[in-house]
Structure 1
C-alpha cells in the first residue's frame, strides 16, 4: 500500500515538475528574447550582446561549486523555493528601475547576473533531486518530460516575444516573467523532495565537513568516475566552440540578414519543436545503452549544423527562402541537442550517489562551462571584425576534431568493452 502511494506521488511529481518547468521557463524565455532583441536594436553590437551572455554564464560558473555544497547539505526543497522567490524579486527590481528611469545596459547586466545565480541554485538542486522525486524506472521519462516542458516553452515564448516586441513596453515582458515565476513557487511547494531519496542520515556527534572538505570530497568522487571525466572534457571544449552559435546566430539573422522579429522568433520556435519531438521520443523508448557513443554522433551533427548556418551568407537568397531554410536547420539542431544531452543525463542520474549529486553536478557544470565566458568574449570580438561565415566554418571543423579525438574508438571501447562483440552499436543507431 505504501509503495502504491509513493508511486502515485511520483506520478504527481512527474507532472508538477513538468508544469512548473514549463511555466517558469516560458517566462524566462520571453524575458530573454525581449532583452536580447532590445540590446541588439539599441546598440547593434555583437560585443554588447555577448556581454549579456557572459553575465549569464560567468556568475553561474563561479557559484556552481558552492551551490553543490549547499544542495548536498541543506533542504533541497527550501533551496529551490528560495531561488524562485529571489528570481521573482530580481525581476521586480528591474521592473521598478525601468518604470522610474528606463532600462540601461548596467541594469540589464546586473539583473542577468542575479538571475544566473538563482537559476544555478534551482537547476543544480533540481537535477540533484530527480532520483528523490521519481522512481528509478521513470528517470528517463522524467528527464524527457522536463526537456519537453522546456521545449514547449521555447516554442511559444519566441513566437510570443516576436509578436509582442515593439507592440508592448518592456515592463509587460517583466510582469509576464514575475507572474510565471510566482506560479512556479506555488507548484514547487507541494512536492516531496525526499520521496525516493537514498541520502545517508547524519550520525549524531559526527563532525560536520567544512565547505572546502565537502567540495574536495565531491572532486575526489568525480575522479573515480572515468566516464564522467571524458564527458566533462568533451563538454568543456564543445561548449566553448558552440559560442560561435550562441553569439553568431542572433547576430547573423538580426544584423546581417535583417530578419524581422516575428520570423526570428519562429526560427527559434523551430529549434524548440525539434527538441520537443525528440524529447517525446525519448519519453517512450527504452533507455539508451551506449550514451557516450550516441552523444558523439550527435556532436558531429552539431558541426554540420554550424556549417549550415553560414550558407545563406555566401549565397543570394530571398527573405522567404532564408526564413524557411533556418526553420528546417533549427528543427534539426533541436533534435540533435536532445540526442546529445538526454542519454548522458540519465546515465549521470543513475551512476552518481545521491549524497554526491549536488557537488558532482555543480562541478560538472563549472568545468563544462569554464571556457564559455572566454568563448563569448572571443566570438563577440570576432563577429565584429571578421566575416561570420568563416568563423562558423572554422569552429565547426574544430568541434568535429575535438569529439573525434576525445571520443576516439579506443576510448569508446574502453568505456564499453562489449562493443568488441560487434553488433550492439548498429542496433543503437537504428533505435535513435
Structure 2
C-alpha cells in the first residue's frame, strides 16, 4: 500500500471511528437511561441503582488486564468485534427473556455484568489500536473525535431516552441499543487495524503464559517513570473525584432543591463543554508539552471540586445556583478533554507496540478499581458529614496528589527540552 493510500485509509478510519462511536455511545446512553429509570421506578431504592453501577465497574476492573494481555497476543480487531458481538448477544438475550418472562432486577444485573465484561475487551483493544488506525500526526484528532462522540451522545442520549421513557416499553430501549450496536459492529469491521502497525514489534507475549505476560506488562510500566506516574495519578484522581460523581446530584436535588428539569440542563453543560473543547483539539496541532498541560488542567479540576460545595456556604437564589452549576459543569467538561486528549496522544506515541494492550489494560484496571471504593465510601460519608466539608477536603487532597505525583522531575522526564530550557542562562 502506498503512503497516499495509507493516508486515505487513515482518513476513512477517522470519520468511521467518529460515526461508529457516536452511534454506539448514543445507543448505550439511551439504554443506560432506560435501565436506570426502570430500576428506580421498580424499587424506589438508590441502593439498587448504585449496585447496578458497581456491577458495571467490578468486571471491568477484573477483566481489563486480561483484555490487555490478549490484545498483545492476538488480533485486536477480533477482540474489538468479538466484544461488540458479545454485547449484542447479551442485550438480545435480555430482550428475549423480557418478552417471555418480563424484565426483572436479577436479569438486569446479569446483563450488566456480561455487558461490562464484553465491552472491556472492545474498549481496551480499541484504545491500544488507535496508533495503528491513523498516522501519528492525527492521533490527537482521533482522540478528540472520541471525546466529541461521547459528548454528543451524552447530550442526546438522556434527552431521547427521556422522551421515550413512560411512552414506550423497555423492549424498545433494548431494541434501540441492539440496532445501534449492530451498526457500530458493521462500521468497525471495515477498518484495517494494522494500517500503521510497526513490523519490528516483538512477539514475546505470544510465547509467554498469561501470568508471565501480565508480569511483563507491570515490569514495563515500572521501567517507565512517566507512565507509572500517570497511572498512579489516574488511580487517586478517580478515587477522590468520585466525591463529585456521588455528591453532585445529591447537593442539587436534596440540599439546594433545584428543579429536576434544570438539573438535566446542568448535566448537559458538561457535555457541551466536552463538545466545544473536542472540536478545538480536533482542529489544532498536537500539544507540544502534554504532561505540563495535564498537570495544570487536573489542578484546576481539583480546585473546581471545592467550588462545587461553595453555594452551601452562602445563600444563593435558585437561578443563581442554576447558572453557577451550569458554568461549573461546562468548565469541568472542557478540562476533562484538556486532560484526557493529550494523555491519550502521549500514551499512544510513547508506549511500545508490543506492550500497548497490556498497558492500556492496566490503565483501565487502575482507573476502574477506584470507582466502586469511592462510590461506597462517599455514599456513606454524605449521610453523616456536611457535603461542603467533604468537597473541601477532597479538593485539597486532589491538589496535593497533582503536586506530588506530577512533580517537576516527572514533567522534565516527559519533556527533557523543558529542563534544558530552564537550565540555560538568560543572556541580557
TM-score by length of 2: 0.90
Distance 2:296 2:241 in 1: 16
1:285-313 Cα offsets, whole Å, 9 max, x none, are 22222222211111122123222322344
Note if contact 2:202-2:354 (Cα within 8 Å) is conserved in structure 1: no
Note if contact 1:156-1:269 (Cα within 8 Å) is conserved in structure 2: no
1:363-408 Cα offsets, whole Å, 9 max, x none, are 1221233322211111122223433332222211211121122223
Correspondence 1:104-183 to 2 at 5 A: 104-183=104-183
Counterpart of 1:72?
A: 72
Range that drifts further, 145-154 or 39-48: 39-48
Distance 2:249 2:105 in 1: 18
1:128-184 Cα offsets, whole Å, 9 max, x none, are 111111111211111111211111111211222333333433332222211111110
Change (3 A) 1:390 1:170: farther
Note if contact 2:72-2:206 (Cα within 8 Å) is conserved in structure 1: no
Note if contact 2:229-2:405 (Cα within 8 Å) is conserved in structure 1: yes
Counterpart of 1:63?
A: 63
Distance 1:68 1:187 in 2: 23
Report the CA distance between 1:48 and its aligned residue: 3.5
Change (3 A) 1:28 1:392: same
Range that drifts further, 221-230 or 50-59: 50-59
1:191-217 Cα offsets, whole Å, 9 max, x none, are 11111111557889x982211122222
Secondary structure of 1:279 counterpart: helix
Note if contact 1:200-1:355 (Cα within 8 Å) is conserved in structure 2: no
Counterpart of 1:284?
A: 283
Distance 2:251 2:95 in 1: 30
Counterpart of 2:22?
A: 22
Secondary structure of 1:384 counterpart: coil
Question: Can you give the 5+ residue segments of structure 2 that lack an aligned partner in the other structure?
Answer: 424-428
1:208-259 Cα offsets, whole Å, 9 max, x none, are 2211122222222222111001111111111001111222223333454555
Distance 1:153 1:305 in 2: 24
Counterpart of 1:209?
A: 208
Note if contact 1:295-1:340 (Cα within 8 Å) is conserved in structure 2: yes
Range that drifts further, 411-420 or 325-334: 411-420
Note if contact 2:73-2:203 (Cα within 8 Å) is conserved in structure 1: no
Report the CA distance between 1:115 and its aligned residue: 1.7
Question: Can you give the 5+ residue segments of structure 1 that lack an aligned partner in the other structure?
Answer: 425-432
Distance 1:318 1:92 in 2: 47
Secondary structure of 1:386 counterpart: coil
Distance 1:63 1:207 in 2: 19
Range that drifts further, 239-248 or 412-421: 412-421
Correspondence 1:18-417 to 2 at 5 A: 18-43=18-43, 45-200=45-200, 208-259=207-258, 262-417=261-416
Distance 1:153 1:412 in 2: 34
Report the CA distance between 1:347 and its aligned residue: 0.4
Range that drifts further, 67-76 or 168-177: 168-177
Question: How many pairs are equivalent?
Answer: 423
TM-score by length of 1: 0.90
RMSD: 2.6
Note if contact 2:306-2:392 (Cα within 8 Å) is conserved in structure 1: yes
